[in-house]
């Protein structure tokens, strides 16, 4: 089973159709390795990992494969949610977890609010996660607004 099929099996086709455009838009695509705003060696759509080396280049197909594998890996973050989620909420929370990490998502006030049934409060928490390296980043403000809109669309 390829990574897209695994991701669809995990979160559903509709949620996949929602999350991929958001992540690709806000991550942007760089077909080579680069250093991100907080100093992490990164490639393509925000992929990080020990296999990356300075100077590597990637095809569009390799970048998409990295993204799908990364989203599949980060979809386990949704396992710490114990309530039913809409497709928009799955997509919003997966985009968020991909950006901040599974541990940060599962340990967040956002996840606690989800699990106590406070979905409006959980969606609102997204707007607080707009800092990287101690600085508020305009791109994160816009991304969190998009994630929050997906999260709130079915409230």
Active site residues: 27, 36
- 8 Å CB contact between 118 and 5: no
Q: Which of 79, 82, 103, 78 is nearest to 93 (CA)?
A: 78
Written as six digits, the tokens of 152 are: 């709130």
Block residue for tokens 């990164």: 42
What is the spatial distance between Cα 13 and Cα 19, in angstroms, rounded to a whole number?
10
Q: Which of 23, 46, 24 is nearest to 35 (CA)?
A: 46
Beta-carbon contacts of residue 124 (< 8 Å; ≥ 6 apart): 148
């Amino acid at each position: 089973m390829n990574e897209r099929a695994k991701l669809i099996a995990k979160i559903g086709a509709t949620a996949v159709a929602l999350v991929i455009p958001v992540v690709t838009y806000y991550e942007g695509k760089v077909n080579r390795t680069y250093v991100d705003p907080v100093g992490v060696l990164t490639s393509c759509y925000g992929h990080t990992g020990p296999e990356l080396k300075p100077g590597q280049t990637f095809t569009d197909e390799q970048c998409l494969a990295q993204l799908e594998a990364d989203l599949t890996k980060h979809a386990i973050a949704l396992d710490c949610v114990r309530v039913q989620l809409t497709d928009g909420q799955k997509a919003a929370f997966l985009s968020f977890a991909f950006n901040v990490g599974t541990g940060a998502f599962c340990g967040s006030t956002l996840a606690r609010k989800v699990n106590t049934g406070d979905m409006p409060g959980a969606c609102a928490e997204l707007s607080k996660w707009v800092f990287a390296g101690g600085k508020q980043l305009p791109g994160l403000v816009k991304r969190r607004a998009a994630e929050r809109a997906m999260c709130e669309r079915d409230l």
